[in-house]
Amino acid sequence: MSPKSGGGGGIYREVGWRHFIYGGVASCAAECGTFPLDLTKTRLQIQGQQAKHLISCGISPVRTTYRGMFDALMKISKEEGLPALYRGISPALLRQSVYGTLKFGAYYSLKKLLPEEHIASNMLCAVVAGMVSSAIANPTDVLKVRMQVASANPSAASVSLYSAFKKIYMFEGVAGLWRGVGPTSQRAGIIAAVELPVYDGFKQYFIKNRIMDDAPPNHIVSSFLASLAAAVASTPIDVIRTRLMSQKIVPSDSYGREAFPEAKRLLPNSGMIYKGSWECLVTTVKHEGLSALYKGFIPTWLRMGPWNLIFFTSYEQLLRVF
């Protein structure tokens, strides 16, 4: 078998700068193609909270609710305009430039260090690569979520990447940029542990059993199977992550930060409600039921499918052409 076929390691054992650069490029391409679904996922995950939690995100508790992914797409397009479907794309691309580059490059670099591959070792490599790269890129994820949530509030719909960063840094400090880093890293570890080994596993299985060659049809089927597994495993923690990241803090006496007197004017009626992942989990289940942990599952899966399809197809072709 040719070294450029995926079987027996091939190009995946020849780790160098290509895995890092092509991972970032393919991640950005996939993000552009699926971002509207990510927006609907975020909107679905924050709705249904108590009024005070919605207010903490800067959203009116009487705002229109969405009955599902397609309803969200239609209402956002109608009420906010088509460009709103891509609000938050700038930090999303910035995130993928960091996260995608590090995750996929580190994953294949770690695999190269192993004398031979096993499912358990591949999962461990994926977890380490996913969690570390996600923690590093967390500020861009916070910015993306804030901009996606802000677009649900007409008065804040024009927020820019710079203004979002400035407000977080001024009123919440550096720590605000790493809000939700715990569940974000856990989610990234879960997705990487499931998605990458499942994709590699199915692809190699189809090749070894002569079901499909190492070609686009194989990549398509393997990527959708990997997406389904990743969506089932990661959606509950993604709901927690989104709700933690969407919170804002308005400095007040209780926070001991009276140095920003204009905070209440710039971020009216907002404040931190959930103090951590566990409190967010308990409050969500208590007031909305266990099913709330799977809010946004459909757009999550439907986004992961095309995202992985675009990513893995672009990634595989980049490795073969250059």
**How is residue 224 written in tokens?**
């959708």
pLDDT, mean of residues 163-186: 87
Q: Where residue 31 falls among pLDDT bands split at 50, 70, 90? A: very high
Unique residue bearing structure tokens 């299985």: 205
- Cα 274 from Cα 54, distance rounded (Å): 12
Radius of gyration of the chain (CA): 20
224 vs 315: CA distance, rounded Å = 16
Distances (CA, A) of 122 to 108, 199, 297: 9, 11, 26
Does 58 score more than 90 pLDDT? no
Residue 172, pLDDT > 70, answer yes
Looking up tokens 């909305």 gives 288
Contacts of 235 (CB under 8 A, 6+ apart): 293, 294, 295, 296, 297, 300
Task: Note the pLDDT of residue 6.
Answer: 43
Question: Quick count: other Cβ atoms within 10 Å of Cβ 296?
Answer: 27
Helix, strand, coil shares of the chain, percent, nearest 5, are 75, 0, 25
Give per-residue pLDDT as tens, 222-232: 888 888 888 99
The whole-angstrom separation of Cα 202 and Cα 226 is 8
Residue 284, amino acid? T
Query: Which CATH code for domain 10-321?
Result: 1.50.40.10
Q: Give yes or no for residue 8 having a pLDDT over 50.
A: no
pTM of the model: 0.71
Nearest Cα neighbor of 234 from 201, 284, 185, 179 is 185
Going from N- to C-terminal start, the domains of the chain cover 10-321
For the cut 80, the answer to whether the pLDDT of residue 170 exceeds it is yes
Query: Using 50, 70 and 90 to split pLDDT, how confident is the model at 11?
Result: very low
Q: Which residue has the higher pLDDT, 13 or 98?
A: 98
Which pLDDT score, from 0 to 100, does residue 206 have?
Answer: 94
Average model confidence (pLDDT) across the chain: 79
Q: Give mean pLDDT, residues 137-166.
A: 77
pLDDT at 269: 45
Confidence band of 260 (pLDDT split at 50, 70, 90): very low
User: CA 32 → CA 39, 234, 307, 309, distances in Å?
Assistant: 12, 21, 9, 13
Per residue in 293-314, pLDDT (tens digit) is: 999 898 888 888 788 778 877 8
> Running DSSP on this structure, what letter comes out for residue 151?
T
Give residues with Cβ within 8 angstroms of 64, minimum separation 6: 75, 79
Which of the residue ranges 44-48, 56-60, 121-125, 245-249 has the most confident prediction, judged by mean pLDDT?
121-125
Q: What is the pLDDT of residues 124-134, one digit of tens each?
A: 888 998 899 99
Structure letter (DSSP) for residue 64: P
Percent of the chain scored above 90 by pLDDT? 20
Question: Mean pLDDT throughout 125-145?
Answer: 91
Given a contact cutoff of 8 angstroms between Cβ atoms, the answer to whether 295 and 303 are in contact is: no
Share of the chain above pLDDT 70, in %: 78
Report, as an integer, the average pLDDT of 162-185: 87
For residue 166, the tally of other CB atoms under 10 A from its CB is: 12
Residue 254 has pLDDT above 60, yes or no: no
